[in-house]
Each structure stands twice: as C-alpha cells, then as structure tokens.
C-alpha cells in the first residue's frame, strides 16, 4: 500500500486560501505566528506576504481589499498585542460589511493553560467583531477550519477569526483536498423582487405626497441610471448616502448630493422639508437624529429584511433588490407632469454647484480644500482609485472630488477610523495595478499610520499621497464649535511631512499657494507612472467648511422659514443670532440663496 503523502498544516492552510483566489496576505511577524510565516516562505511563489509595520494596517488593508473587490481580505497577527492591534481594522470590516479573514497566533497547545508568555484567551476578544470565531484544536483540522471561516465571512459579509496554536502549523498532515471553493461558480445570488401590490402602494404614497425625495444608498449598485429615469418620470429629486458616490451621474439636474454633515446644502434643505422619504438600498447611520427633524411618510426598500425599519418607523417596507424595485416601478408608473417642488430643488442644487465652483477656483491663501480637490480633479486619471482618510477630507471628497463608476474608492464609513488612507491605497494598487492609487489624508490621520510609508517603499507600491496639513483636528473643531464648550485639545504638533517622506525614501513637495498645486500633482502622477510613490503636503487653512447641518427649516403659518441652529458657535454671546445669509457670508457664500427664496420663486405648495 502506497504511503500517504503529507504536507505541513500551514501550507495546507495557504493552499485553501489560494483556492479561494487570495493573492495577498497582510501581517506582521511574531513568535506565535511563525509557523504561518514558515508556510508563506514555502508557498511564496503562489501567494504574497505583504509585511506591514503595524497589525491595524494589516487588518485595514484586508478590509479595504474586501470593500474594493468584494473578495475575501486576509490579515494576521501574533498572540497578545498583535491580536489586539488587529481589532481596529476588523471592526472597520464588520461595520462596512466586508468579508475578512483574520489568522491569529496563539502559544503552542502544549503551553496553553500554563500562564505562558503572551498566552491569553483570544476567542472571547473577537466574539463581538466576528461572525465566525474559532480556535483550531488539531493540526489536521487547520485547513478545514480556515475553509469554513472563509465561507462564513462571505455568507455574513463580515469578519471570520481563526486562532492557531503555533506548533500546529509545523505539523505534517495528509496531503489532500481541504477546500470547498468553487471559483468557477459565478452565479449571482438570487435577489428578492417587489410585488406588483407593493409597487402600487408605493406609487399611491408618491401620488399623495407634495415633496417626495429619494434617499439612495450603495445598494443601487449598477442601477444609477435607472433610478435617474424614475426620478425624472415621477419628479422626485435624489439624495444619496456617501457610499453611493460615483454610482449616479452627478450631472443629472435632479441629483442633490449627500445629506447630513458631509453634505450639500440642497440635499440637507430638501430632506428637511420632504413629506415622503423613499430610502432605496441604504444604511443611513445618522437617521435616528437626522430623520427626527420633522414628521414624514417613510418607504424603505432593501434586499435584507432585517434592515427594514432599522432607522425609522415604516409606512411601507419593501423587501427587494434596489434596482429591481426601480425597474418594476418604471414599468408600473406613468409620467408625472413637471412639478414646482422639483424645479425648486434643481435650482437650489444649481446654486450650490455655483458656490462649489467659486470655492474651487478661488486664489485664496491659506489654501482652501476646494482648490486642492480642483487640482486633483485636473490631474488624476479618469479611472483612478482613491482612498480617503477620515476627517474633513470626507466632507471635501463628497463636495469636490469627481467620482464616477470608472473610479474605485474606499473610506472607513461606519466605523470611521482615522489612519485608513494608506491601507486603502495599498489595497487599491495591489488589486488594480493599472489604475492610479491616491491616498488623501489630513495631518492627524496620516500621522496614525505614518510608519507604513515604509510598506509602499518596500513593495514598490506607487501611491500618490496627499496630506492636507493645518496642524489642527478640524473635523472635531467643527463639532466643538457647536457644543457647549471651548475649543480644546485639537492643536497638533507640526510635522514636516515632506521631510519625513524623504526619510522613507519617497520624493515629496510642500505646497502653500494655488499656482503650485497643479505642478505638484503633475510631478506626483509622473512619479507614480514611473512606479514610484510620491507625497504632496498641502498647507491649508483651518476654516470650517460651510456647516449646512446648522440650517433649520420649518413651516410657520403656511410659510417656509429657514434659520440657523442656536447651537452654531455655541460659545457666541447670548444676544448674537446668525441668519442664513450671515452664515453663508462667513464661508464665502454671498451668492447662496435660501430654500424659501426658491420655494417662493417657483410657487411651491406647502
């Protein structure tokens, strides 16, 4: 009888990853994960080990990979501190519903329960973040557990954790098939479809509404043009969640942009006066407070039944794929005559676009974010990938960055962890090597993961890094300005990021004037084309972006009234109250109009 061939358990594990299409594994070495590194050395021609400089970057990069591609991202860390450091990126994956596998080191099983160095019960640590959380019990089961973990991550669009006693990876186990992957099986997941009755109920609510609005999320996927068609047909303007940026054509006149704080003025105003909100394929995390501004009828369409009614009391919940709902609504609806409300919404957004154009073309010093993003729009490739770090750059991306379906882009959306910019750009360039990869981060965010500039140098990843620097946590300053407190704790010790980049072996420039922006970005794109990373430090001012979230609308005696929240600049003198026009002027918006002006101009019925 022929002797059974054997294979190291760690190699068998990696062959399972390979069978699922995994190309890159992100992690940082440690004593309790050495057997995995042994396997990576053996399998290095088939799978890549990307050594990052902090485990949170490994997990954030794996999460970004999953968000960008829809495919499993893989990260690892050693027992104890390595495991703890993974958590930040794993929570990012959980909150944004990204399939990620975390391989976590553990002391050898022969040393467990002896209070051994760095021994700790790790599965409880991951119980909240993970949809699958197991410790491997035998070397023979290691590849099987990893295979099960990957399936769980895909099924639940979440995090799967496998804790591996270090000695198991070295052990020889039977060489056989351990994977259940079927990469040739590319059938789309069956999606629920709205019934005729549900569509008719929806259309009845639309017919009775005076001021309906679509609030569209990323669940619309490839149906952006179709919901625009429905918007035109039913005369319903469209507002989007931030994650839907790029999925709808922004040149459509009924497109009002994003709502809440990282928002357009028109979107916030129109949502604040709507009497029917139709949420389509979204997960609006701010709904509990933002939707509470006034009463309205609420329709929600989602392909996940558990999401229906999650953020607001339902008048009609429809379990359906977003685009299939839109297609069926198009079939069963009739053309609505042009409405004054729709015309007023379009005019409001056009006025806002003119304001943004003014800000982008400004020659102001210190530099304004609009000037920076205008130069990026002029120099970035049309299909570039963008990783946007957390902070004011989220607001400015939603307002100024040109994004379309050609672009891949990623943010830490619901977990909103600073330091996600470099990991996202690494993931983007590894997944889409033929596309430019941009990392746009503030000085606070970049400093959190500055060490991983070394990673893009080591692996020759030509990321274009843009750091907007003003030595201040501006996003939090905007919150503190409207809170009952004095501004405190937000000033940052200056860092010369260009010099720091040079220390890592990255060419860099510092920009302080508008006429320096485009040449700097042209130099950066040329370096990236030549296969080299580059950094542009842009010195910007600390002026807050126009806080559209401080605008309040109400109907008083049959007339629409717009005011500024009394919380705006909370520490102002008690007798000071800003009008909307005064607010606009403070942020270079002298030509902005209020929504009541547009309602009067177009005779909108309340």
Active-site option among 76, 168, 255, 475: 475
Secondary structure letter of residue 451 according to DSSP? G
117 is catalytic: yes
| CA-closest candidate to residue 465, choices 484, 445, 437, 490 | 437
Active-site option among 55, 481, 537, 562: 55
Per-residue burial over 254-278, b if 16 or more Cβ lie within 10 Å, else e, is: bbbbbbbbbbbbbbbbbbbbbbbbb
Active-site option among 378, 479, 582, 590: 479
Active-site option among 261, 278, 464, 504: 261
476 is catalytic: yes
Active-site option among 51, 118, 451, 480: 118
Q: Distances from the Cα of 26 to the Cαs of 52, 89, 178, 457, 519, in angstroms? A: 7, 12, 22, 15, 34
549 is catalytic: no
Looking at 407-539, list the stretches that DSSP marks H as alpha helix, in order from N- to C-terminal side: 421-431, 443-448, 453-458, 474-481, 497-503, 514-529
d(CA 593, CA 189) in angstroms, rounded, equals: 46
Burial bucket for residue 222 (CB in 10 Å: 0-12, 13-18, 19+): exposed
378 is catalytic: no
Active-site option among 4, 44, 117, 406: 117
Active-site option among 476, 487, 495, 509: 476
Active-site option among 145, 163, 390, 464: 390
Q: What is the 3-state secondary structure (H, E, C) of 538-571?
A: EEECCCCCCCHHHEEEEEECCEEEEEECCCCCCC
Work out the angle between the directed axes of helices 421-431 and 55-69 (0-180°, nearest 10).
50
475 is catalytic: yes
Burial bucket for residue 42 (CB in 10 Å: 0-12, 13-18, 19+): middle
Secondary structure letter of residue 530 according to DSSP? T
| CA-closest candidate to residue 256, choices 388, 335, 353, 339 | 353
d(CA 575, CA 373) in angstroms, rounded, equals: 38
Question: Which residues are identified as catalytic?
Answer: 55, 117-118, 261, 390, 475-476, 479
């Amino acid at each position: 009888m022929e002797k059974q061939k054997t294979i190291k358990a760690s190699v068998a594990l990696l062959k399972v990853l390979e069978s699922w299409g995994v190309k890159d594994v992100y992690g940082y070495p440690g004593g309790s994960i050495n057997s995995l590194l042994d396997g990576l050395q053996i399998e290095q021609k088939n799978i890549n080990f990307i050594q990052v400089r902090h485990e949170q970057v490994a997990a954030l990069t794996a999460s970004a990979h999953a968000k960008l591609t829809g495919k499993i991202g893989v990260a690892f860390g050693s027992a104890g501190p390595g495991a703890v450091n993974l958590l930040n990126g794993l929570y990012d994956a959980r909150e944004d519903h990204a399939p990620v596998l975390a391989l976590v080191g553990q002391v050898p099983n022969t040393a467990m329960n002896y209070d051994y160095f760095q021994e700790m019960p790790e599965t409880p640590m991951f119980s909240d973040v993970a949809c699958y959380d197991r410790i491997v019990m035998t070397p023979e089961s290691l590849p099987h557990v990893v295979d099960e973990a990957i399936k769980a991550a895909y099924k639940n669009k979440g995090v799967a954790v496998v804790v591996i006693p270090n000695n198991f990876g070295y052990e020889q186990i039977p060489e056989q098939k351990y994977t259940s992957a079927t990469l040739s099986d590319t059938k789309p997941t069956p999606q629920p479809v709205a019934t005729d009755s549900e569509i008719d109920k929806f259309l009845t609510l639309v017919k009775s509404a005076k001021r309906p609005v679509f609030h569209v999320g990323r669940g619309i996927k490839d149906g952006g043009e179709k919901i625009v068609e429905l918007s035109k047909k039913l005369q319903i303007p469209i507002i989007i969640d931030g994650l839907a940026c790029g999925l709808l054509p922004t040149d459509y006149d009924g497109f009002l942009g994003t709502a809440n704080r990282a928002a357009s003025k028109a979107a916030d105003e129109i949502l604040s006066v709507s009497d029917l909100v139709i949420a389509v394929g979204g997960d609006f995390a701010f709904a509990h407070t933002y939707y509470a501004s006034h009463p309205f009828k609420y329709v929600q369409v989602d392909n996940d039944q558990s999401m229906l009614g999650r953020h607001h009391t339902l008048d009609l919940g429809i379990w359906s794929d977003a685009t299939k709902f839109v297609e069926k609504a198009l079939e069963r609806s009739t053309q609505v005559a042009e409405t004054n409300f729709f015309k007023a919404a379009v005019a409001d957004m056009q006025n806002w676009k003119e304001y943004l154009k003014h800000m982008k073309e400004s020659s102001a010093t210190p530099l304004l974010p609009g000037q920076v993003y205008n130069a990026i729009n002029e120099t970035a490739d049309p299909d570039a990938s963008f990783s946007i770090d957390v902070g004011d750059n989220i607001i400015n991306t939603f307002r100024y960055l040109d994004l379309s379906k050609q672009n891949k882009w990623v943010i830490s959306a619901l977990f909103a962890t600073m330091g996600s910019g470099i990991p996202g750009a690494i993931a983007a360039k590894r997944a889409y090597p033929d596309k430019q990869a941009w990392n746009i981060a503030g000085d606070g965010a970049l400093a959190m993961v500055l060490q991983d500039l070394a990673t893009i140098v080591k692996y020759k990843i030509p990321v274009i890094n843009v750091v907007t620097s003003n030595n201040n946590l501006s996003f939090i300053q905007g919150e503190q300005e409207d809170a009952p407190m004095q501004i405190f704790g937000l000033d940052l010790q200056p860092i010369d990021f260009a010099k720091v980049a040079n220390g890592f072996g990255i060419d860099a420039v510092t920009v302080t004037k508008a006429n320096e922006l485009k040449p700097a970005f042209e130099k950066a794109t040329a370096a990236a084309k030549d296969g080299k990373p580059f950094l542009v430090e842009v010195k910007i001012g600390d002026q807050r972006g126009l806080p559209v979230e401080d605008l309040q609308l109400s109907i008083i005696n049959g007339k629409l009234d717009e005011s500024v929240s009394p919380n705006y600049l909370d520490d102002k003198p008690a007798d000071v109250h800003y009008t909307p026009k005064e607010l606009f002027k403070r942020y270079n918006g002298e030509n902005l109009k209020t929504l009541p002006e547009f309602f009067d101009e177009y005779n909108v019925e309340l």
